[in-house]
Amino acid sequence: MWPYIVKRLLQMVPVLLLVTFMVFSMLLMIPGDPVRAIVGSGEALDKEQLEALRHELNLDKPIPVQYFIWLSRAVQGDFGRSNQTKKPVLVEIKNRLPVTIQLGLAAFLLSIVIALPAGIISAVRRGSRLDFAATVLSMGGVAMPGFWLGILLILLFGVTLHWLPTNGFVSLVDQPFTGLKHLILPAISLGVTGTALNMRQIRSSMLEVLAQDYVRTARAKGLAERSVIWVHALKNALLPVVTITALQIGRLLGGAVVIETLFALPGMGRLMVNAVFLRDIPVVQTSVLLVAAAVLLSNLIADLIYAWLDPRIRYV
């Protein structure tokens, strides 16, 4: 197993290089002068000062050379400074990353807690009213954009009922109860699509497994229905669900960009949006590197969970 893990980690390196180079190049090819975006319209600089700043930031060099300079510093742990705040990029990310992690975990756990029992019940009671209701809700969850649901939740629970806060962030570590109240609406908005997809996948997979011969044999031997479902069927039914769940990591990180902006959360998503608008290349580059690494690692973890769920699977 360890040789396989090391091999996969080494395979991540060219992927990360390709992703970061593409993003780096596209940012520099956006129409407009990056130096003007960095300086802003409120500060007047003459041509010589602009050229000096462009040289200081290596923006007067070809794109491959600029990327190599950034990469050579990054492998040493120096990701540069934000062009806007002048703070080290790692400090900016360190302040924002806990917000996105807490939001993503809350949305992920919410989708699992709701989707797992709902999908199982829908499969076991196929054709019942519960199955019909779960199907309608899952289809609505897939069709409804997260930002639209977020607006509806804000209007209902924030503006009309005044039950929950609609903006800002409080850490769960510092104030668990208050932090949870601030995360409820964003987590629901971010996790609704994942919940619907997981529920449909669990239902479909459970229906397929329940029709297998070994399940009929377990029932014929007189095993309790609860044991048949939770012990014999569920473990095998979770295999395709693991793949869907791993793919949702990227969707959660992408959705956080919109949800954090909607609920005014100071997280990574909002940081990346502001950095793209302001052409803050060091912040965008480091953020993209972290997101890409998180997606690749989630896929590796999914493969390892596969091997744990199904002993027949072996990686070499």
Nearest to 38 by CA among 74, 83, 82: 83
Number of domains in the chain: 2
- What rounded mean pLDDT belongs to the chain? 84
Say yes or no to pLDDT of 110 above 80: yes
- β-partners of residue 88 are 81
Of residues 240 and 18, the one with the higher pLDDT is: 18
Clarify whether residues 17 and 131 are in a common domain.
Answer: no
Q: Do both 294 and 233 map to the same domain?
A: yes
Cα–Cα distance, 150 to 164 (Å, whole number): 12
Instruction: Kindly report, residue by residue over 54-102, the tens digit of the pLDDT.
Output: 787 777 888 889 899 888 988 888 888 888 788 899 999 998 989 999 9
Checking if the pLDDT of 315 tops 70, the result is no
Instruction: Kindly state the average pLDDT of the residues 270-278.
Output: 85
pLDDT at 166 over 70: yes
Look up residue 272 and give its two tokens. 């990346």
Whether residue 125 is found in the same domain as residue 45: no
Whether the per-residue pLDDT at 42 is higher than 60: the answer is no
In a domain, 86, yes or no: no
pLDDT value for 43: 59
- pLDDT band at residue 44 using 50, 70 and 90 as cut-offs: low
Position 240 scores a pLDDT of 78
pLDDT at position 129 over 60: yes
Assess if residue 315 is contained within a domain: no
Residue 81 lies in a domain: no
93 close to 178: Cβ distance less than 8 angstroms: no
Whether residues 139 and 15 share a domain: the answer is no
Percentage, residues of the chain above pLDDT 70:
94
**Cα atoms in the 13 Å half-sphere on the side-chain side of 278:** 18
pTM of this prediction exceeds 0.85: no
- Sorted by sequence, the CB contacts under 8 Å of residue 249 that are 6+ apart come out as 104, 294, 295, 298
CB 149 within 8 A of CB 188: yes
277 and 206, same domain (yes or no): yes
Higher pLDDT, 101 or 30: 101
What pLDDT, on a 0 to 100 scale, did the predictor assign at position 134? 86
Q: Pick the last residue of a domain from 49, 74, 99.
A: 74
**Among the listed residues 15, 70, 2, 6, the one whose alpha carbon sits nearest the alpha carbon of residue 294:** 15
Q: Does 205 score more than 60 pLDDT? A: yes
Same domain, 104 and 39: no
Poorest-confidence range of 32-36, 117-121, 125-129? 32-36
CA pair distance 122, 244, nearest whole angstrom: 19
Res 237: pLDDT: 83
pLDDT band of 140, cuts 50, 70, 90: confident
Domain boundary among 74, 107, 128: 74
* Residue 188: per-residue pLDDT: 92
Is residue 294 within 8 A of residue 249, CB to CB? The reply is yes
Please report the pLDDT score of residue 52 as a whole number: 82
- Per-residue pLDDT of 142-157, as tens digits, reads 888 888 999 999 999 9
Per-residue pLDDT, 1: 67
Summarize the confidence of residues 104-131 as an average pLDDT: 88
Residues 134 and 205 in one domain: yes
Q: Range of 15's domain? A: 2-74
Q: Are residues 56 and 7 in the same domain?
A: yes
